[in-house]
Amino acid sequence: MLSRHQDPIAAIATAPGRGAVGIVRVSSPQDLSALVTAVCGRPLKPREATYLPFRSAQGEAIDHGLALLFPAPHSYTGEHVLELQAHGGPVVLQLLLARCLEADPALRIRLAEPGEFTRRAFLNGKLDLAQAEAVADLIDASTEAAARSAGRALAGALSGEVGQLRDALIQLRMLVEATLDFPEEEIDFLQQADALGKLRRLLERLDALLDRSRQGAILREGIKVVLAGQPNVGKSSLLNALAGAELAIVTPIPGTTRDKLSQTIQIEGVPLHISDTAGLRDTDDEVERIGVARSWDAIREADVVLFLHDLTRMGQADYEREDAEIRSRLSGVEPARILQVYNKADASAPSEAGAAAPTSVDAPRDNSTGATAATGAPTTTDVLRLSAKTGAGLDVLRQRLLQQVGWHAVPEGLFIARERHVQALRRTREHVDLALQQAAQEPAALDLMAEELRLAHDALGEITGAFTADDLLGEIFSRFCIGK
């Protein structure tokens, strides 16, 4: 009996809904000649598009379109693949899919699971795991920069660099193992093989790749930004200003925003998922109270929290007391994730607002405490003054948001990366660093050094799938769309 990964599979490969063209895809380790004849009415030449009617079991035309046959191993999955390109109506494609499922009973074709075509491409050596993930990232890309970076990863940019590091690790492992196998040879391994130099250079290359992978992960995942603060400090106005559209209702009535409102924008190609939240305050309104609770949930999950303050209300006792309470609750959030933003600079007094186009400056200071008057927090350069109404200071805010998560331009073209890639590279680096420490001892602990290099090799192999557990593969490919 064939294993599940050897079952013939079929699926609609295009997005749900109506369209000019829709594709039904079949993949099978077994020959598809009988299926082709049943559906297309005649054999097909390999890799040649043929226009013909797609036949039902009664011989009637379901639709007319293009049929392409890709014999193994020269196909996306490495198996025999049939693609039927028909008109993109949902009913037509469902009829065509049903016909493929029953046309050849001997094959016992089943519906494909999410990502199963790409999983087979990985299992059959057509793609490594990093490239397979790049397929999904290319489909899901929300910015032009993310799409280009995913294309580089699909072309093997990340895999190529990982492969070079792997080769360097293998060479080091061979040298260490050889020395352990022939201890009678009085060879100063560390000096003659320049093991210390090789390890240091390997660490430098890992650091460079780790930095680029972090940037690629930011490009893929984007930045989760939450606008927080009291009612009427300008959160909704700031969301509208950043998005360039009237997404949120803006009124002088406190409590207008009662639920989280999100919008994705991009800065330098980096997706920013910005959420406007309900004003943080105690309220007797049940709906608003639920909205405030959701606001705190969003704050805990955010990469960056923009804590908004109203320059026009500074010095008002009630306002400052509420701000102090919010600040107290924000004490559980890492300070590096909080950016203090002073809004309504256009409406505040000149002595408070500063220049007509506010930039990054310190907030008004309480000279008696060395703390900002509005928040009680120490005066820091992580403070911005702006006007969501006029747009003054928004460019500075956009750049600060990128800086807050460590984004910076790199000279080479970026490739898309995932958090698991970053974590695998970090573990690789940790083991290589430990191997360097063992090598630097007098005498060198070569057996411990060999073990650290082996662990580094395994961690690095997780990126491309050389050492990957089946449960991780299931998690990765389950996130793909059906038909891909």
Residue carrying the six token digits 């795991």 = 129
Burial of 56 (0-12, 13-18, 19+ CB in 10 A): middle
| First-to-last C-alpha distance (Å) of the chain | 25
Chain-centroid distance, C-alpha 119:
19
Of 388, 355, 353, 99, the residue nearest 241 (C-alpha) = 388
Backbone angles phi, psi at 139, to 5 degrees: -65, -40
C-beta of residue 13 within 8 angstroms of C-beta of residue 93: no
**Distance separating alpha carbons of residues 433 and 453, to the nearest angstrom:** 9
**Distance separating alpha carbons of residues 400 and 395, to the nearest angstrom:** 9
CA distances from 5 to 9, 118, 134 (A): 9, 12, 21
Which residues does the annotation place in the binding site for K(+)? 232, 251, 253, 256
C-beta of residue 373 within 8 angstroms of C-beta of residue 348: no
Which residues does the annotation place in the binding site? 25, 83, 126, 232-237, 251-257, 276-279, 343-346, 484
Beta strands 223-228 and 304-310 are: parallel
Of 407, 472, 461, the residue nearest 220 (C-alpha) = 407
Beta strands 261-267 and 270-276 are: antiparallel
DSSP at 226: E
Which residues does the annotation place in the binding site for GTP? 232-237, 251-257, 276-279, 343-346
Instruction: Enumerate residues 6+ apart whose C-beta is below 8 A from 325.
Output: none
C-beta of residue 227 within 8 angstroms of C-beta of residue 274: yes
Structure tokens that stand for 312 in this block: 């026009």
SS (H, E, C) 376-394: CCECCCCEEECCCCCCCCH
Backbone angles phi, psi at 229, to 5 degrees: 150, 180
Residue carrying the six token digits 């690095």 = 460
The per-type count for the chain, helices as H runs and strands as E runs, is: 16, 14
Of 445, 345, 431, 448, the residue nearest 394 (C-alpha) = 345
Burial of 356 (0-12, 13-18, 19+ CB in 10 A): exposed
Which residues does the annotation place in the binding site for (6S)-5-formyl-5,6,7,8-tetrahydrofolate? 25, 83, 126, 484
Amino acid at 214: R
Backbone angles phi, psi at 126, to 5 degrees: -80, -30
Structure tokens that stand for 227 in this block: 């606008």
Which residues does the annotation place in the binding site for Mg(2+)? 236, 257
**Distance separating alpha carbons of residues 372 and 327, to the nearest angstrom:** 12
